[in-house]
């Protein structure tokens, strides 16, 4: 089978627009087969090896079953950099880029060192993006999972970051022997009631990174605020991605703490998804 025949198989089976289909096919050619997509135009009769045919057909079937292309190629662009991702971590979203951008821009004129901790760090995309864009922010990534921390290490090395990586489980403890000036987090915040309203490809992402405990959608925010009460420096700041469906409940939770200032911000979809809290 030649390269254009395989492209036509994709066009026939995926049931999406030709432009979308060709975009996916070109990505897989480049990332999985190490073939420059321009070869389709320059050498349309190029014969694919049996191994490449099997790779592309297997990938096609996985995409038909809504398997995320980001996991197929183990790559997701976030804040201008390509991060390694697999099924152990959540695929970074553009809303989270807005959280990172907010924190970086708030601290762009800082001329002294500040300590930042990224709680529930997943792939490390938040903390590493902050680290490589601001030399005055000393960033620590933290997560409970050994497999997740391995991915943080991959991305730290891949992107030449200076982040520190620690294993820390918010479920088990609420304190560290260190003070931080900034806490940032995108913790699991979906309720199980939202399961039927999210994309079909999300079924391949780790549930533990998506969903809060069944009876408490604010569970991780409670844990983060408790952590902040002992580990956040005076006048420290928390940046969070939150569930816009639970703003009222979130405000009620904050009322249990002495807060100096709260600033909500809409994401690019117009949903109240980001918040900055000054203790």
- Write out the two tokens for 3: 């390269």
Name the least confident of 5-9, 205-209, 234-238. Answer: 205-209
Q: What is the pLDDT of residue 143?
A: 96
Residue 214, pLDDT > 70, answer yes
d(CA 269, CA 25): 29
Phi, psi of 229 (to 5 degrees): -65, -20
Q: What is the pLDDT of residue 224?
A: 96
Tokens 């995108």 correspond to 186
d(CA 254, CA 201): 33
**Residue among 85, 126, 125, 92 nearest 240 (CA):** 126
Domain segments of the chain as ranges? 3-65, 88-278
CA dihedral sign of residues 92, 97, 102, 106: positive
Split at pLDDT 50, 70, 90, the class of 202 is confident
CATH architecture, domain defined by 88-278: 3-Layer(aba) Sandwich (3.40)
Strands across the sheet containing 272-278 = 164-167, 137-143, 114-119, 180-185, 232-241, 272-278, 261-266
Q: What percent of the chain has pLDDT over 70?
A: 97
**Residue among 206, 205, 129, 184 nearest 160 (CA):** 129
Name the least confident of 49-53, 91-95, 201-205. Answer: 201-205
pLDDT in tens, 90-131: 999 999 999 999 999 999 888 889 999 999 999 999 999 999
Q: What is the pLDDT of residue 12?
A: 96
- By DSSP bridging, strand 261-266 and strand 164-167 are unpaired
pLDDT in tens, 255-277: 999 888 999 999 999 999 999 99
Which long-range contacts (C-beta less than 8 Å, at least 24 apart) are formed by 131-136? 131/161, 131/162, 131/163, 132/81, 132/159, 132/160, 132/161, 133/79, 133/104, 134/104, 134/107, 134/108, 134/110, 136/107, 136/110, 136/111, 136/112
């Amino acid at each position: 089978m030649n390269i254009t025949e395989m492209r036509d198989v994709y066009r026939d089976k995926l049931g999406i627009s030709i432009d979308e289909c060709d975009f996916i096919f070109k990505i897989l050619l480049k990332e999985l087969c190490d073939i420059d997509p321009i070869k389709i135009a320059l050498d349309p009769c190029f014969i694919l090896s049996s191994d490449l045919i099997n790779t592309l057909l297997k990938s096609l079937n996985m995409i038909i079953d809504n398997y995320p292309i980001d996991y197929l190629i183990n790559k997701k662009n976030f804040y201008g950099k390509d991060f390694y991702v697999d099924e152990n971590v959540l695929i970074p979203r553009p809303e989270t880029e807005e959280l990172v951008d907010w924190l970086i821009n708030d601290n762009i004129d800082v001329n002294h060192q500040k300590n930042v901790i990224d709680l529930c760090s997943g792939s490390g995309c938040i903390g590493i993006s902050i680290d490589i864009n601001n030399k005055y922010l000393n960033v620590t990534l933290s997560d409970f999972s050994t497999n997740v921390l391995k991915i943080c290490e991959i991305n730290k090395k891949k992107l030449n970051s200076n982040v520190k990586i620690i294993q820390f489980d918010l479920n088990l403890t609420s304190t560290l022997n260190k003070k931080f000036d900034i806490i940032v987090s995108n913790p699991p915040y979906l309720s199980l009631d939202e399961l039927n309203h999210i994309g079909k490809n999300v079924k391949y992402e780790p549930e533990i990174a998506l969903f809060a405990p069944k009876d408490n959608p604010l569970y991780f925010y409670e844990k983060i605020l408790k952590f902040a009460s002992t580990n956040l420096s005076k006048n420290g700041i928390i940046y969070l991605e939150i569930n816009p469906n639970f703003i009222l409940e979130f405000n009620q939770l904050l009322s249990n703490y002495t807060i100096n200032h709260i600033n909500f911000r809409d994401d690019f979809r117009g949903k109240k998804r980001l918040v900055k809290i000054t203790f």
